[in-house]
Amino acid sequence: MPTMMPRRVPDVLAEADRILCLAHREPDGDAYGSLLALRWILEAVGKQVVTGIDGPPDQTYRFLPGYQGVRTPDRIQGSFDLVVIADCSSVDRIGGFQDLEQLKQLPWLVIDHHPTNEQFGTPGLNWVDASCLSTCNLVLQLTEALGWPLSANAKKCLLVGMLTDSLCFRIKGVDQTFMREVMKVMGPDSYDFQYVVSRTLAFITREELQLQSRLLSRMQLDDGVLWVGMTSDQATGPQGERLKTRGIIQRLAEVDEARVAVLFREAEADDGRTEVKCSLRCDPDLDVSRLALDLGGGGHQLAAGCKLAGSLDAVVPEVIARIKDQVLGLPVGGS
């Protein structure tokens, strides 16, 4: 069931002149798409907008208008009237922005589609619609509800989120209503549709492809759980850059024998300790979001994630045991 836009949203937006828009760290196409679309939409109605994401950018999305302008928390100056947070299910997803003093007293409007959303925005300003396939669909609905114009730039950004989160129309829930919204952001000649589709879905660097092949050759199948682990040095490219792991979890999830797919990525946490990021995917009759939520993360029924303190050696067996028990319902200790 769709969730209605909270009643106060139009007034809160009308009253704000300077707006800080944020999306989640390790941004995907829906995070960038909804964030940058918000920028173009709000600027078109006369607002001053600053966009922010904590952590390194993802070069994949550099073709999006406004990509260069996205700031990290250390580059935020001045004051704002409102914070709009897109595609984040919990406050930790905005990273260091949650510690900025000048934001603490402001209204926070949360626009999200994760069923695990913790409603961390200002009371009455959480618009969470888990029936929506992407946050970009909600941003489109917001724009239409307010009767605001949609520029070619905004449409391009919205398309990227819709493509990303629907896995290019492949997930359950893609229906005529969704496709009608896709049609609205296509616009006859507002941008090169084909180019945006292929940039969003298909481009990786040579190093990333090599990393994929190295990792995928080591995948392991354990009672329907197909998984691979990577250490932080494997994620480092020839120039010391962080290699993106985009696509790996998708490849694992496509394997016929995989009921649940997991990518474990070891990394150094902000406090210097070792942590493991888990990306979880599952078959349509299963649900990985509950387990992710129990482990301190979140996400969707079929695609969720979490971070756990510890090394691969400690985290992998623990998470696989929990998947077998909680997601697959296998007898504990059995095989």
- Give residues in contact with ligand 5GP (CB under 6 A): 89-90, 93, 114, 249, 279, 297-300, 303-307
112 touches Mn ion by CB under 5 A:
no
Dihedral sign, Cα of residue 206, residue 207, residue 211, residue 212: negative
Contact partner at residue 299 from ligand 5GP, Mn ion, none, CB < 5 to 8 Å by partner kind: ligand 5GP
Closest contact distance (angstroms) between CB of 101 and Mn ion is 29
Note the residue count of the chain. 335
User: What's the chain's Rg over C-alpha atoms?
Assistant: 20
Closest contact distance (angstroms) between CB of 44 and Mn ion is 23
Query: What CA–CA distances, in Å, run from 103 to 6, 81, 307?
Result: 21, 9, 26
Closest contact distance (angstroms) between CB of 305 and Mn ion is 12
Which residue, 8 or 307, has its beta carbon nearer to ligand 5GP? 307
Closest contact distance (angstroms) between CB of 27 and ligand 5GP is 10
Contact partner at residue 58 from Mn ion, ligand 5GP, none, CB < 5 to 8 Å by partner kind: none
The residue behind tokens 């660097």 is: 205
Closest contact distance (angstroms) between CB of 307 and ligand 5GP is 5
Which residue, 150 or 258, has its beta carbon nearer to ligand 5GP? 258
Contact partner at residue 305 from ligand 5GP, Mn ion, none, CB < 5 to 8 Å by partner kind: ligand 5GP
Closest contact distance (angstroms) between CB of 79 and ligand 5GP is 29
Contact partner at residue 90 from ligand 5GP, Mn ion, none, CB < 5 to 8 Å by partner kind: ligand 5GP
Contact 162, 182 (CB under 8 A): yes
The residue behind tokens 């209503």 is: 177
Both tokens of 137, joined, read 């669909």
Closest contact distance (angstroms) between CB of 187 and Mn ion is 22
The 12-31 site mask, x for binding Mn ion (CB under 5 A), equals ------------------x-
165 touches Mn ion by CB under 5 A:
yes
Closest contact distance (angstroms) between CB of 153 and ligand 5GP is 24
- Return d(Cα 78, Cα 145) in angstroms, integer: 30
129 touches Mn ion by CB under 5 A:
no
SS percent in the chain: helix, strand, coil, step 5: 40, 20, 40
Which residue, 12 or 288, has its beta carbon nearer to ligand 5GP? 288
Distance of CA 275 to the CA centre of its chain: 19
Residue ranges in the chain assigned as alpha helix (H): 9-15, 29-44, 135-145, 152-165, 176-186, 193-202, 206-216, 248-253, 289-294, 312-322
Both tokens of 34, joined, read 């909804």
Find the binding residues for Mn ion in span 38-97 (CB under 5 A).
Answer: 87
Contact segment (CB under 5 A) with Mn ion among 69-77, 128-136, 139-147, 193-201 equals: 128-136
**Cβ-proximal residue to ligand 5GP, closest one:** 305
3-state secondary structure 20-55: EEECCCCCCHHHHHHHHHHHHHHHHCCCEEEEECCC
Q: What is the DSSP string of 105-134?
A: TS-EEEEE--TT----SSTT-EEE-TTSS-
Footprint of Mn ion (CB under 5 A)? 30, 87, 135, 165
